[in-house]
Amino acid sequence: MTDLRDLGLSEYEARAYRSLLRTGPTTAKELSQASDVPMGRIYDVLNGLEQCSLVRSQTAGRPKKYAAVEPDTGLERLLESKREELEARIDQYEAAVEELTADLEATAPIDGQFWTAAVGTEASVDLLVERLAAAERSLVVVAGGVSPQFDFGTVGERVAAELEAAVDRGVDVSLLMEPDLVASLPAGIGGRYTERLADHDAFTARTAPELSGTFELIDDAEVCIEVPNPLDPGEAFAVIDLKDPEFAANVRGMFDPKWEAADPLPLTALAEDDSRG
């Protein structure tokens, strides 16, 4: 059951406020008796309620009396106070994240080899999206076969959103696709890429035959390799992420000639393919 404590009041403050609503204007001593709040605590409790704008006190006369603010007004004030408190905390957290990001990035190693893997569709997609979001300078996407990242569902939406976010933050994105894959794209996927990426100079799409496998080359230092499910090629089986500048350089060396010889793929072609689908 919801209680005034859920909005930040203490047990004593909640009891005192409820009692004031029942008794009407009353003295601290009388309120202590009516609410079972110890006399030694009642003034601190009333001060707290006044700070929350839930109680009004008599400005003149003795003994001093207190009255409860009407519930509608009082609860709205509590809610507004909580909103302000949460907004202040969000600002603090955002400032902390900004400061820590700069601090942690400054201490991150530049070189060195590290690899990790995620198994299963959900974990694989989470890892892929995380690494796409980490791109700072360049992002190469090679799709040589059916890939869940180009489907019509949640996975395709998440990948498309990350590619859009990448070009928005200044990352050069190059997409190289097998021509047969372009023709087999689900209805709608081409339109999404057209709408989201056609206006970005940092995004380029090309096609090349005889591509095998799907991978992402991130900042020329990291490679994400997608492992399809052998029983269902459209489903992600695993993603292997390898951070190795030397290996990434070899991948770039193999990619560049393919890219130079590839045929430009206007994004309008993707939209036309959608209209046929």
What's the rounded mean pLDDT across residues 1-26? 89
- Per the model's pLDDT, the better-predicted residue between 160 and 176 turns out to be 176
Output the domain CATH number for residue 43.
Answer: 1.10.10.10
pLDDT tier for residue 19 given thresholds of 50, 70 and 90: very high
Do the domain assignments include residue 124?
yes
Q: State the angle between helix axes of 11-23 and 39-51 in degrees (0 to 180), rounded to the nearest 10.
A: 80
Position of tokens 């609410």? 35
pLDDT at site 152:
44
- Per the model's pLDDT, the better-predicted residue between 138 and 147 turns out to be 138
CA gap 171, 10 in Å, rounded: 51
In single-letter form, the type of residue at position 231 comes to: L
Output the domain CATH number for residue 207.
Answer: 3.30.870.10
pLDDT tier for residue 150 given thresholds of 50, 70 and 90: low
Q: Phi and psi (nearest 5°) for 70? A: -55, 145
The last residue of one of the domains, among 47, 69, 91, is: 69
The helix or strand, by DSSP H or E, that contains position 57, with its residue range, turns out to be: strand 55-57
Do the domain assignments include residue 153?
yes
Look at 86-90, 126-130, 182-186, 242-246 and tell me which has the smallest mean pLDDT.
Answer: 182-186
- Are 46 and 138 members of one domain? no
pLDDT at site 125:
84
Closest CA to 114 of 223, 243, 241: 243
- Per the model's pLDDT, the better-predicted residue between 13 and 199 turns out to be 13
Query: What confidence tens digit (pLDDT) does each residue in 62-121 have?
Result: 888 999 999 999 899 999 988 999 999 999 999 998 888 777 766 655 566 788 988 887
Position of tokens 């993707």? 270
- Per the model's pLDDT, the better-predicted residue between 218 and 186 turns out to be 218
66 neighbors 33 (Cβ within 8 angstroms): no
- Per the model's pLDDT, the better-predicted residue between 161 and 131 turns out to be 131
Do the domain assignments include residue 108?
no
- Per the model's pLDDT, the better-predicted residue between 130 and 148 turns out to be 130
Position of tokens 């089986």? 237
Average per-residue pLDDT for the chain = 83
CA gap 17, 78 in Å, rounded: 13
pLDDT at site 42:
94
Do the domain assignments include residue 155?
yes
| Count of domains for the chain | 2
Do the domain assignments include residue 239?
yes
CA quadruple 33, 36, 39, 45: dihedral sign: negative
Q: State the CB neighbour count (10 A cutoff) for residue 188.
A: 12
Whether pLDDT at 32 is above 50 = yes
Percent of the chain with pLDDT over 70: 78
**Global pTM?**
0.61
- Per the model's pLDDT, the better-predicted residue between 126 and 266 turns out to be 126
Domain of 47? 4-69
Do the domain assignments include residue 75?
no
What's the rounded mean pLDDT across residues 1-27? 89
Do the domain assignments include residue 85?
no
CA quadruple 230, 236, 238, 240: dihedral sign: positive
pLDDT at site 115:
87
pLDDT tier for residue 256 given thresholds of 50, 70 and 90: very high
Do the domain assignments include residue 93?
no
CA gap 227, 218 in Å, rounded: 17
49 neighbors 13 (Cβ within 8 angstroms): yes
- Are 62 and 141 members of one domain? no
Cis bond upstream, residue 228 (ω within 30): no
Query: What confidence tens digit (pLDDT) does each residue in 161-207 have?
Result: 888 899 999 999 998 888 877 666 655 555 666 667 767 888 888 88
The residue length of the chain stands at 277
